[in-house]
Chains A and B, each alone.
Chain A
Amino acid sequence: MFGLTTLAAGKLPLGNMLFIIISFLVLMYILKLVAYGPLTKVLDERADKISNDIDGAETARQEAEELSAQRQSELANTRQEATKVVADAKISAQKQSDSLIAVASQRATSISQQAQTDAEKLKEDAIYNAKNDVASLSVAIASKLMQKELSLNDQQALIDAYISDLETK
């Protein structure tokens, strides 16, 4: 047993110890370069990535919720608008039909009035003409009867009096 016998003999194998310490330090350096450094970096990156992903998922969820709420409200708005449009269309159609009806009834009234006026005018004309004809006819009849030339103008007043008498009856 090398170690213990040399220890007992008072000969410390310092060379071995130095060799072990130095080579251990070198080994530590190599492992740091090869394994520990890169691995620690990767582990840290992974931890970062996981926490980022969790945060990202949280934001994405919030965004989705916002979007869904927005969509909901937009849908409600659209529905309201559609209802309003339909109501407006109904109202305007009602108005239009009312105004058309009003115009038509006005036209009808005016036409019937016109017709009435026309009829009255025709009647007056006819009465007037008849009056004239009656006057001249009666004068002609009277002159025939009396063999006397009666002046239409002279007898006009009398005739008018007769006729108005007729009219009143």
Chain B
Amino acid sequence: MDDPTAPFEFLNLTFDWGTILSTLLAMAIVVIVSIVLTRNLAVKPGKRQNAIEYLLDFTNGIVGGQLPKKQARQFGLYAFTLFFFVVVSNEMGLLLQLQGTDGVTYIKSPTANPIVTMTLAIMSLMVAHGMGVQELGFKGYLKNMLFKPYAWMLPLNIIEQLANFLTLSLRLFGNIFAGEMLLTLVANSLAWPGQFNGFWSVLALPIEMVWQGFSLFIGGIQAYVFVILTGVFISQLSGNE
């Protein structure tokens, strides 16, 4: 389970080529798709504009259902970017995984890496806490977060905030990582364990197909859940439950 990585040090910070390349590729796909889909915007939409408008309506719907209008408007861009990036990241590894000759997987789903999902979770929680402060003021924000509904619940509330971080990040990571793991497992152990595996190699194809389809579904669901939970945290921390 301990795959080789290609880390390097820069300014005393540890980087890792696999994560960087995967993230960049996912982001490039997001940017290219949105550039292609937003050519020639018009009040009366064409086919391509309809597609991206549907996506925007979808994330705006998630946000608008949870937050008051002012916050929804603020949070709209973040939710749109987050959903688009996470969904592309989730599905990317199902279609494309590149392994170098040194055994390092350079391209896979960025969200199959806990560091990436934790970073995304930290970002989402920072947004949520920031909006809480903006909405309630710093004192009100602390009171709302730590002493509601009763002051003696302080320890529970602290645990809840930590749990929020862990559930948000590890749920996404777990789903995507497990999906890819099983795909790799089937491919490496069943279809091609060093040589042609007879009947099992043939059977591996439908198994892979079914699992890939299911993982596509899971990837979409998890992106949706990630954005929804971010909205829920914003809503909770802003005191409008």
How many residue-residue contacts, CB under 8 A, span A and B? 127
For residue B140, CB closer than 8 A to chain A, the reply is no
Contact with B along A129-166 (1 / 0, CB 8 A): 00000000000000000000000000000000000000
The answer to whether B14 touches A15, judged by C-beta atoms less than 8 angstroms apart, is yes
The answer to whether A13 touches B14, judged by C-beta atoms less than 8 angstroms apart, is yes
* A1 → B minimal CB distance (Å): 6
Q: Indicate whether A43 sits within 8 Å of B53 (C-beta atoms), given known contacts A2-B7, A31-B34.
A: yes
Contact with B along A17-28 (1 / 0, CB 8 A): 111110110011
Complex contacts, B14 vs chain A, CB 8 Å: 6, 11-16
The CA-CA distance from A39 to B42 in the complex, in Å, is: 9
The answer to whether A15 touches B15, judged by C-beta atoms less than 8 angstroms apart, is yes
Taking a contact as CB atoms closer than 8 A, the residue among B3, B15, B80, B113 that contacts A36 in the complex is B80
Minimum CB distance partner of A37 in chain B: B77
Q: Which of A14, A31, A46 has the most CB of B within 10 A?
A: A31
* B37 → A minimal CB distance (Å): 7
For residue B142, CB closer than 8 A to chain A, the reply is no
For residue B209, CB closer than 8 A to chain A, the reply is no
The answer to whether B76 touches A36, judged by C-beta atoms less than 8 angstroms apart, is yes
Q: Indicate whether A14 sits within 8 Å of B13 (C-beta atoms), given known contacts A2-B5, A20-B19, A23-B24.
A: yes
The answer to whether A16 touches B115, judged by C-beta atoms less than 8 angstroms apart, is yes
* B148 → A minimal CB distance (Å): 29
The answer to whether B77 touches A17, judged by C-beta atoms less than 8 angstroms apart, is no
The answer to whether A38 touches B114, judged by C-beta atoms less than 8 angstroms apart, is no
For residue B38, CB closer than 8 A to chain A, the reply is yes
The answer to whether B3 touches A1, judged by C-beta atoms less than 8 angstroms apart, is yes
Q: A-B pairs with the 3 shortest C-beta distances?
A: A15-B13, A15-B15, A35-B34
Can you list 7 A-B pairs with a CB-CB distance of less than 8 A? A3-B115, A15-B10, A17-B122, A19-B19, A20-B19, A36-B81, A43-B56
Q: Which residues of A contact B (CB under 8 A)?
A: 1-7, 11-21, 23-24, 27-28, 30-32, 34-36, 38-40, 42-43, 45-46, 49
Additional 17 contacts, C-beta under 8 A, given A3-B114, A15-B14, A16-B15: A1-B3, A2-B3, A2-B16, A3-B115, A13-B14, A13-B16, A13-B19, A15-B9, A15-B10, A16-B116, A19-B15, A19-B23, A23-B27, A24-B81, A24-B123, A38-B38, A40-B56
